[in-house]
Structure formats: C-alpha cells, structure tokens
Homo-oligomer: A and B are copies of this chain.
Amino acid sequence: MSSPLRLGIAGLGTVGIGVIKIVQKHAGLLAKRTGREITITAVSARDRMKNRDADISAYRWEDDPMAVAMADDVDLYVELVGGDNGIASDSIKAALRAGKDVVTANKALLAMHGQELAELAESLGRVIRFEAAVAGGIPVIKTMTESLAGNSTTRVMGVMNGTCNYILTRMESAGLPYEAVFEEARQLGYLEADPNLDVGGIDAGHKLAILSSIAFGTRVNFDAVEIEGIERVSIDDINRASDMGYRIKLLGIAQMTPRGLEQRMSPCLVPADSPLGQLAGGTNMIVVEGDSVGQIVLRGAGAGEGPTASAVMSDIVDIARGIRLPVFGQPATGLKPAQPARTAVPASYYMRLELQDKPGALAKVASVLGEAGISIDRMRQYGHSSDSSVPVLVVTHKTTPEAIDFAIEALPRTGVLVSDPVELRIEEV
C-alpha cells in the first residue's frame, strides 16, 4: 500500500462536514479502492466553536486557511470556503505553489479565474479538480472530460440550479406567486447569502461557463453568458404554460456555432412530459451531445451535503489513485478564447400579452407579429380579467430571437397593450 493521502480542508459548512463524514465512515472502502489510506490532517473554518455534525477533534485546527493550504503535512488542499476571490483564491494559489494538489467546489472562482488558476497549476505540475462545482452529485465534469473525450461536443445544456428549480416547481404545485415561494426558500435555507446568485441565474451561469470551456476547448468566459434570472417568471406564466403542455425551467444552453460560442442561461418553456419538464424540486439534469455518442442525459441531486460531498470525494479518490489531468481536460495554455455569439438558433416562443378589451386590439397585435415575420402556431384568448384587459397567449412557429426582439419593441407602440409583453423561448429538448 502507498503512503496515505493527507487532506487539509478549509471550510466546514455542509459540504466540508459531508466530506469528513465520508472519510470517517468509509475509511476501509476508500483504502480498498485507492490502495492507500485517506486521512485528514488539518481543518479550518470561520468559527471554531460552532457545533458541528462531525467529530473534528482529531484534526489540527487552523484559524487561517492559508496555514492549511501550505502545511507540510498536507498533500491535498480541499477548498470549500467559496467566493470568487479573496481567501479562496489566495489559499488555492498558495497550496499549488507549496506543491499541493487542489480539490474545490468553487464554481464562482473557476468561472471568473479558472484560466489563470489552471495555467498556474499546470505550470507547477499540480492538478485542480472540481466535480462538485457543477450539478452537485452528478458526475458531469468527469463525463465530459473523460468519458466523452473521443467526441467533439456539439451542445451542452441543462438545469443546474436546484434552488431555482425548487422555486419554479413549488410555484406550480402550490399555486403561489414568486415572492411567497422565494420567502419560503429563504426560510428553508435554500438560498445563497446573496440570493441574486441563485434567482438571478448567476450561479447557474457560472456552471454553464465551466461546462462550455470543457465542451469546446475554449477559455472559460462567464462574462459572455447571456443571463436572465427567474425573478420575472410569474405564476400566471407558469399556469398558462402548463395549460399549453409546457413547464418553465431555468435552462442553460451552450453551443458552438459558425458565428461563435452561444452561452445562455434563461427561463425557458420545455414540454411538460419531457425529462427536463418532469424534473422536480432540487434535482439537476445535464444533457451533453457529442458527435459520436449522441445524447447523454445525467440526472441527480444538484446540491445537499451527501451529493456534493460525494462529488468532492470522487476528486479526492482520483488524486489518491494517481489520476492527473489538465484542469479543463486539455492544457490550459492551448485553450482558445471563443468569439461570443448571441443566441441565433430559431425556436418557438411563448408570448403573453395583456390587451385592452376593445375591438381591433388582436388585429393590431397580429399585424405587428406579421411585420416581424413571425407566424403563429397557436393563439389562446382568455376571458376578461377584472380590470377589463384580455390576456392573450401566443405560441409562435420557429422564429429568430431578432424577430422576437423586433416584435417586443414594436408591440407597445400599437397602443393596445395594458402591460409589457412577456416572451419566453421554447426549447424542444
């Protein structure tokens, strides 16, 4: 048996404690599977006195993550502090320079500074692994980097933020407005300290940027992700989409096109009976399409102690087994900057318009859509609302985002709308 692999763990939140529990509970199993002991030497967190769900008394306590990252008796630095800068970034760099490998779950840091960190690690002959950074327990990083290595990836997409999916699912099942479910989620502890990271689509956008880099061999470019959160998804839209056989999901899609790399994270309609449409609560789903393998779908828990710790452990086990790969699957210096491209692939769109209840209103709308070159697949007019406006739903035939933008800009000029028009893309995935 080889020498033990000695971990130093910074950050003892849900995931850190989950990792410690697995190392303690499955010591024998891990030794059989890796051929060596996996031990924990030192830990660090903000509050030493906090009650924790695991016995950490056998590990050296450090107040400063930097001390864990650079300790002589640590082989592998496990960064679970979080944040796209500051101590997370500093301690990872220090660990690499001190000759340690790094495992992290820090999607924000990788999305913002992944290229710099990867180049540093590779120049030093160290590895950074981050399976837990995307989609919790789902092995999407390994699948894309290793299992699909014989493929040219054509598209990657999915539902990557469990909190948003919980909110959207719960709005539909309980018939509650966004604000009420948002408040529930906050009380359940499902939201990040800055909730905009979740509901604003930022967290999911970070994940998509990381997947894009692996999929297309490009430098991670979070700033180029078109992001729209779920804040403007109303219970009206959820109910009316449901009437027409759809569900609303915060869906990320990245694909390489002749014009450049499209990366988009936005609320979309998907068929209610599709695998993505059926995804409830905190579950995540990633769909990867490769030129040989076709479509691979991965589903599992996107967050939570056990699933996320399982992903961190898979990286630790890989390193214990001597598996050493470039951070993004190929040398970071060879990753090319991608030309960002706005979404141009045509799709059907859902539109909800509140019209004044007077003759000719619908004709004016139809006329604008016609001018925009948009043809209508289905139109549904609901009964009068109390305020004497008339809700009208439109599902278009496939059309370009440009045509939709044109229509959305032109529609208010008809003078027959009582509120801003709502449009959502329909993805037939």
Residues of A within 8 A of B (CB): 18, 22, 26, 29-30, 32-35, 131, 137-139, 142-143, 146-152, 217, 273, 275, 278, 290-301, 304, 306-307, 309-314, 316-318, 321-325, 329-331, 334
Contact = CB atoms under 8 A, between A and B. Distances in A.
A26 B148 CA distance: 12
A218 to B, nearest CB: 12
27 contacts: A32-B331, A33-B149, A33-B329, A131-B147, A137-B292, A137-B293, A138-B296, A139-B139, A139-B142, A139-B146, A139-B296, A142-B142, A142-B146, A146-B317, A146-B318, A147-B314, A148-B314, A149-B314, A151-B313, A292-B306, A292-B307, A292-B309, A293-B307, A293-B311, A296-B298, A297-B300, A298-B298
A356 to B, nearest CB: 41
Contacts of A311: 147, 293
Copies per complex of this chain: 2
Nearest to A151: B310
A114 B34 CA distance: 20
Contacts of A33: 149, 329-330
A278 B273 CA distance: 9
Contacts of A293: 137, 300-301, 306-307, 310-311
Contacts of A150: 22, 26, 30, 309-310, 312-314, 316-317
Given A139-B139, A294-B301, A294-B307, 5 more contacts: A35-B331, A149-B314, A293-B307, A293-B311, A297-B300
A300 B296 CA distance: 5
Given A147-B139, A149-B30, A321 B325 contact: yes
Given A148-B310, A293-B307, A310-B292, A322 B324 contact: yes
A172 to B, nearest CB: 16
B330 A310 contact: no
B149 A313 contact: yes
A298 B139 CA distance: 10
A139 B311 CA distance: 16
A323 B127 CA distance: 14
